[in-house]
Amino acid sequence: MEKRVALELRGRNPSQVKELNLDNCRSTNIVGLSDEYTNLENLSLNNVGLTTLKGFPALPKLKKLELSDNRISNGLNFLNGCKKLTHLNLSGNKIKDLETLKPLEMFENLKNLDLFNNEVTAIDEYRTKVFALHPSLKYLDGFDKEDREAEDSDAEEEDEMNGNNDTDEDGSDDEEEEDDDEEDVSLSAVYNDNLEEESSASSLYDGSEVEEEEDVDDDDGEGENDADGEHNSKVQGNGEADREPEESTRGKKRKHEDDDDEN
């Protein structure tokens, strides 16, 4: 326990410590704790293996003491230096009778006492007797005199924290919605850009088709001109061919006339 106490100090002065957790450190008696912890308010010694409280220091500001799951059967009078104690957890120990609880009468501010899983709880009218023994007591084993469950301040703190978390979550949801909106805008912008690119590409494509059609028309025109030229040349060729026999006939006729004149 002494090493654990030194570790939990973390270089601080004992008078600066308000909360100390020594759970599971394993020791049969109190060692390492002293009266120097003048401002200690919460001390936890759960499942340590304590068999006695002898040597427990005077802690004038201690309000909450956790001693569950140890082997304490008596000696609660060693806590007399903790006059402001309001919460004492002795569940899971070896307390057998009401006589062992009498030293707790000195704690005028004691409001919450837990004796669950002790043999003393099997005594007849146990709850009624314990409440009568300690008039300041408000909750015993987590319930008041009318068997109403104790208010859990820790649960309230958790609810508040959860409420804050809900606010944070709402805020994060708003941020996520804003991010989604931005993504939608960016997607629409990209979509519009793609449309513009497609329209530009299509216009270029249409222009190329027009040019190709014009080229095709030009080619057709040249082909027609070539065909007309060939036709005209053929016609002209046929004309020359037609004129050749005519000229030859005239030549023959003139020759015949000349021969007649000679005769």
Residue 240's φ and ψ, nearest 5 degrees, are -60, -40
pLDDT at 91: 98
pTM for this entry: 0.59
Give CA separation, 41 vs 48, 135, 166, in Å.
19, 23, 31
pLDDT of residue 181: 53
Residue with tokens 């409001």: 111
Mapping DSSP to helix (H, G, I), strand (E, B) and coil, where does residue 44 land?
strand
**Three-state SS at 66:** strand
Residue-level pLDDT at 189: 53
CA distance 101 to 17: 29
Task: Spell out the per-residue pLDDT of the chain, length 263, in tens.
Answer: 989 999 999 999 999 999 999 999 999 999 999 999 999 999 999 999 999 999 999 999 999 999 999 999 999 999 999 999 999 999 999 999 999 999 999 999 999 999 999 999 999 999 999 999 988 999 999 999 999 998 765 444 434 434 444 434 444 444 555 555 554 544 455 445 555 555 554 444 444 443 444 444 444 444 444 445 444 444 344 444 444 444 444 444 454 444 544 43
Cα 188 from Cα 199, distance rounded (Å): 16
Question: C-alpha distances in angstroms, 130 versus 81, 185, 215?
Answer: 22, 70, 113
